[in-house]
Amino acid sequence: MNLSELQAAQMEQMTIKDCLPKDETEVVLHLVEEVGEVCEAIREDDREELKDEIADVLWQLNKLCWINKLDLEEVFLHKLNKNKDR
């Protein structure tokens, strides 16, 4: 699956479970929380927890893109190309 397909699958799952994000603030707060949990997993040298927390960060980024009608894969590729020219 590419990032666009992952985003679509996630949003479908969240629609079925009736837990779509309410607003951008909610998503950003969850994103910050998940980044903190990534830091904690690194501090504790817990590789399994790190994998879960990285996935949670991606989950929140997908939600942020969905709320703003952005395609995460497209956004990432744009930044990759922009950085190439720096």
Q: Total domain count for the chain?
A: 1
What is the pTM (predicted TM-score) of this model?
A: 0.88
Sign of the four-CA dihedral 60, 31, 45, 73: positive
Radius of gyration (Cα) for the chain, nearest Å? 14
Q: What percent of the chain has pLDDT over 90?
A: 84
pLDDT digits (tens, 9 = 90+) for 11-25: 999 999 999 998 999
Tell me which residue range forms the domain holding 8: 3-84
CA distance 79 to 86: 11
CA distance 83 to 86: 5
The domain that holds 11 is classified in CATH as 1.10.287.1080
Q: At what angle do helices 47-67 and 3-16 cross, to 10 degrees?
A: 80
pLDDT digits (tens, 9 = 90+) for 70-86: 999 999 999 999 999 88
